[in-house]
A and B are shown apart, each in its own frame.
Chain A
Amino acid sequence: MSADTVPDESTRVPDAGDDVLVVRSLVRRFGGITAVDDVSFRIGQGETYGLLGPNGAGKTTTISMVAGLIRADSGATLVNGREMGPDRVDVKHHIGLVPQNLAIYPDLTGRENLRYFGRLQRLGREALDRRVDEVLELIGLTDRAGDLTKEYSGGMKRRLNIGIGLLHQPRLLILDEPTVGVDPQSRHAILESVEALSVEGMAVLYTTHYMEEAERLCDRIGIIDEGRIQAEGSRDELVRLTGGVDHIRLNGSGDIDVAADALRELPEVEQVDADRRTLYLTVRDAPTAVARIVTSATRAGLSLTDVEITRPDLESVFLHLTGKALRD
């Protein structure tokens, strides 16, 4: 590690604690539009933090400030306890950025791309050779390392895009929607790679508008919309914001109204709505309650043809918080 990449403890901000990243009240405006409005969060070592929100929510602007690409109008970003900014050369060494757009040169081979960016990261010759081989192995491109990247598939390009960000073993890896436009198989490979990173102790900031990715990868999730963090916590903590209730839908024939009255008597059932052939139930802990509900409905003369349980997910959390769907 070169001298200017060694953290200078004297410049550490006292309240940064052991967090790799501290984002404090970031604000960024473009003309009259406030793209990021008072955004704050922290990421500890080995933690994967997800910024979940629809397109245009402010995710990319937020990570552009975190990565030192643009300045914040107000607020602060601390990486390893030191303030980040476009001119903070010493702090930038601790981050690895994987931009949403493929940031690779199509007329270079995979290995040449890695070597070029590795040299710009000031890796020494031996370290560079070693890390290029390790990263090629990690992203599964060792066999195609000598091919021009313009001949790669979309998924291979995405993996190389991530590999470049990992090359210098940063403390914080920032991934901006890394699975956009890739096939399911490549997406699975990318998600597995990201899971492995947190195990190795790397802090990961992951932006996505795919709920499933956030649920699978992230220890904590910040739901962002219209430039503001609407809620933050683990998946279960966020789900509890919706009231923690599940939904069960019963289809069948018989006397719907009699069945509805019978189900209202059950303590697990909080609410029952009915139309001509369907009952909609709001219940606590649906997996446990469903047996009693089905039995009770059958005894009330309902001949069931279909039972569907819906548990709350991040999509419903987003709907609950913002009043709109995640992909709107």
Chain B
Amino acid sequence: MRQLFMIVGFDLRQRIRDRSVLLFGLVVPLALMGVLNLLFSGLDESTELQPVTVAASVPADDPLASAITGALQGIGAMDVTVREVPADEVRDRTADGDATLGITVPEGFTPALTSGEQTRVQIVEGDGGGLESDVLISVTRGTVDRLTAGAEATAAGRAQGLPPDELARIAREAAAVGDRIALAEGRAADHQLTSRGTLVAGQAGLFLLFTVGFGVLGLLAEREQGTMARLQSMPMRPSTVVAAKALTGFLLGVFATSFLLTVGSMLFGVDFGDVFSVAVLVVGVVAAATSLTFVVARIARTAEQANVVQSIIAVVLGMAGGAFFPIPASGWAATIIDLNPIAAFIAGLGITSGGGDVADLGTPLLIMVGFGATCLLVSRLIPDRAAA
């Protein structure tokens, strides 16, 4: 055991001396996080809806027509000013850019609805309305749907021979039914990561696969420079050397990932939640990534080959895991992607970011353990090409 830690200490000093870990494990991923943050900043959920003006032509003293403009003014997420204008000016105001949206409600709107006649609300969308315009149209459409529902209810009452007062009451209640159904908005815990959070977690996961690779590269470098034979002739088991290299990769991975998550969260304002739970995730994903290096060590004959194989695996697993952007997939493809330890890592950080703790991390941790066990098994089954 003492010799194992001697080799680990020696390897860590070597990696610090040649600055390779510093460069590929810390500097490059942080730089990439910065670049990607600039690139994708337009997608950030912190974008606020801008104040808008609606040019509306609404008949005076028409209660259901007023409900439409009232609904627009009641949008909490955005400041909406409804400016009443004559019907023939609605299109011009909107075309001139004075209003984001124009609405024209015809005269006799309420009587028409309650009597079951066909009526029509005209919407005019201005140029460059963007997301605000979409919200206004959506709310208007929803309000009209509710009023239509009221009209349908009134028509049904009329068919039953109800008196006009009763029909008016039914129409009001049908139009207001939406107020009685409370829509509780929430998000599943594993989708709580912000886009910046996903960026930081994804880059940390992606470059972890490079960082742990320094262990296996060290192993193959020992073979190439001839020192492996000497190490194996030392009074220790051959497995000690392999274990020391794996432990070196593991420690480098834990340090680099923890560093990237910490610095990344500070630089980009991300909160990953409970520190202990995040630490458990980091250990899990680094262990899974380290186990992958055992397979690489079997496949590659030289350190150069190992570097290439490791890079390919890192990019594939990193991208599939959502290191740059989420990969939309369904069916078996989605299942395969879900079994990726980087995807599990990002999902796990989503859970902790949403307030989850270790007890909620069962699925991601299980995926990591399963991935690690599979890699170890595969590494035992395939022949060692470098030793052959």
Contact = CB atoms under 8 A, between A and B. Distances in A.
A101 B230 CA distance: 10
Which of B3, B227, B235 has the most chain A CB atoms inside 10 A of its CB?
B235
Given A68-B233, A86-B237, A120 B3 contact: yes
A5 B235 CA distance: 9
A99 B229 contact: yes
Interface stretch (B10-18, B292-300, B357-365): B10-18
Interface string A95-109: 111011111111100
A89 B1 CA distance: 12
Interface residues of B, number: 21
Contacts of A97: 229-230, 233
Contact of A120 (B6, B226, B238): B6
Interface string B211-228: 000000000000001110
A134 to B, nearest CB: 19
Contacts of A164: 230
Contact of A95 (B7, B226, B233): B233
B236 A89 contact: yes
A269 interface: no
B265 to A, nearest CB: 35
Given A87-B238, A107-B14, A120 B231 contact: yes
Interface of B is mostly: helix
Given A116-B10, A120-B3, A120-B6, A103 B226 contact: yes
B232 interface: yes
Contacts of A119: 6
Contacts of A93: 235
Given A69-B229, A86-B237, A121-B234, 17 more contacts: A67-B229, A87-B237, A87-B238, A89-B236, A89-B237, A92-B235, A92-B236, A96-B233, A97-B229, A99-B226, A101-B229, A103-B226, A105-B14, A106-B225, A117-B234, A120-B236, A164-B230
Nearest to A105: B227
Contacts of A144: none
Interface in B179-222: none
A264 interface: no
Contacts of B235: 4-5, 89-90, 92-93, 120-122
A100 B227 CA distance: 11
Which of A90, A96, A103, A105 has the most chain B CB atoms inside 10 A of its CB?
A103
Nearest to A97: B233
Given A107-B14, A107-B17, A107-B18, A120 B227 contact: no
A256 to B, nearest CB: 57
Nearest to A95: B233
A100 B14 CA distance: 24
Nearest to B228: A103
B236 A86 contact: no
A97 B226 CA distance: 12
Contacts of B225: 101-103, 105-106
B237 A68 contact: no
B6 A103 contact: no
Contacts of B232: 67-69, 86
A116 B222 CA distance: 14
A92 B234 contact: yes
Nearest to B229: A99
A313 to B, nearest CB: 32
A145 B17 CA distance: 19
Contacts of B236: 89, 92, 120
Contacts of B229: 64, 67, 69, 97, 99, 101, 103
Give the 3 A-B CB pairs with smallest separation, nearest first.
A101-B226, A103-B230, A97-B233
Nearest to A90: B235
A123 B49 CA distance: 72
Interface in B1-59: 2-3, 6-7, 10, 14, 17-18
30 contacts: A67-B232, A86-B237, A87-B238, A89-B236, A90-B235, A92-B233, A92-B236, A93-B235, A97-B233, A101-B225, A101-B229, A102-B226, A103-B226, A103-B227, A103-B229, A103-B230, A104-B227, A105-B225, A116-B6, A116-B10, A117-B230, A119-B6, A120-B6, A120-B7, A120-B235, A120-B236, A121-B235, A122-B3, A122-B235, A164-B230
